[in-house]
Amino acid sequence: MEENIDILLTTYNTKIEYLKEQIDSILNQTYTNFKLIISDDCSPKEEVKTTLREYAQKDKRIELYFQEKNLGCTKSFEFLLNKSTANYIAFSDHDDIWYPTKIEESIKAIKEKDVSLVYCDSNQIDANGKIINESYLRYKNMPIINTNYNKILPFSRHIAIGCSQMITKEVKEKMLPFTEKTFAHDWHSTYIASNLKGIYCIDKPLFGYRIHENNIFGGRNLKQNMRTLEKRKRKWL
C-alpha cells in the first residue's frame, strides 16, 4: 500500500512561468498518492492567486490557502506543517522543477534506510531552466551523508536545503510549534531529524534548483541572509 505524502509549497509574488513549471512538475510525478498543500503568503499579484485557483479546480490533490497578511517564509511553512496529516512530508519551493521520480525515490529511501529525513542533490538551473551546474551539493561543498548519521551538528553549516527534503511525521511533530529561535524550517528539520533516526542523502539530482535574482537564498539576497543566519546560530548554540 502506498504511503500518503503531503507536499508543502508556499508562494509569494512568484513569476507565473516559474510557478506553473513547479506545480506541473509535482503533479506529473510517477508517485501519485500525495496531497499538494499550497499557502499563498498574501501575494499582491492577483495573477498568482488566479493561477493557483485554476490548478486547484483541475486537480483535487491540491489544497489551497490564502493568507490575509504576509507571514514570511518560515511562518508560512509552520502554517503548512500544521495543516499536514500525512506520515511523510516534502517541502517545495515555488520556482524549481522537480524531476518525475523525486517523490518515488525519496519515499523509497526514507523507508528502506529507516531514517527521519532524506535529502537529494539537484542540478542548478538558470532563469530559463538551463542546467548551469550538475551538482548543487558539490558546487557548495556540502556533505554527502549516505549512512544513518545521528547527532550531527547541522548548525555548523547547512546540510540539506528544504526543497530537497522529505521528513517523517515524527520530525514534523517535534518541529511544532516554531519559536523565535526558528530561523528557517529546513535548518530546524535537519537538526531534529539528526537527533532521531538520522538523515540520508540520495546522491543524485532529483530536481532543478533555479537560481535567479529574486531567490531568497540563491540570488542577490544571499550574503545578507547568511549574515543574519550566523547571528541567529549564535543564539541557538
CATH of the domain at 80: 3.90.550.10
What is the value of pTM for the model shown? 0.87
Residue 218 · residue 211 · CB < 8 Å: yes
Weakest-pLDDT range from 72-76, 97-101, 145-149: 145-149
Higher pLDDT, 215 or 135: 135
Q: What is the average pLDDT value for the chain, to the nearest integer?
A: 87
Higher pLDDT, 90 or 231: 90
Q: Which three cell numbers stand for residue 212?
A: 535567479
> How many Å apart are CA 200 and CA 82, to the nearest integer?
25
> Is the pLDDT at 82 greater than 70, yes or no?
yes
Specify the pLDDT at position 118. Answer: 96
Note down the domain range covering 60.
5-236
pLDDT tens column, 23-45: 999 999 999 999 999 999 999 99
Specify the pLDDT at position 2. Answer: 81
Q: How many CB atoms lie within 10 A of CB 214?
A: 15
Strand ranges (E), 42-127: 62-66, 88-92, 97-98, 117-125
Q: Measuring CA to CA, which residue among 208, 218, 185 is closest to residue 39?
A: 185
> How many Å apart are CA 23 and CA 53, to the nearest integer?
12
Confidence at 147, pLDDT banded by 50, 70, 90: low
Q: How many domains does the chain have?
A: 1
Confidence at 214, pLDDT banded by 50, 70, 90: low
| Helices 185-194 & 73-83 angle (0-180, nearest 10) | 60
pLDDT tens column, 45-79: 999 999 999 999 999 999 999 999 999 999 999 99
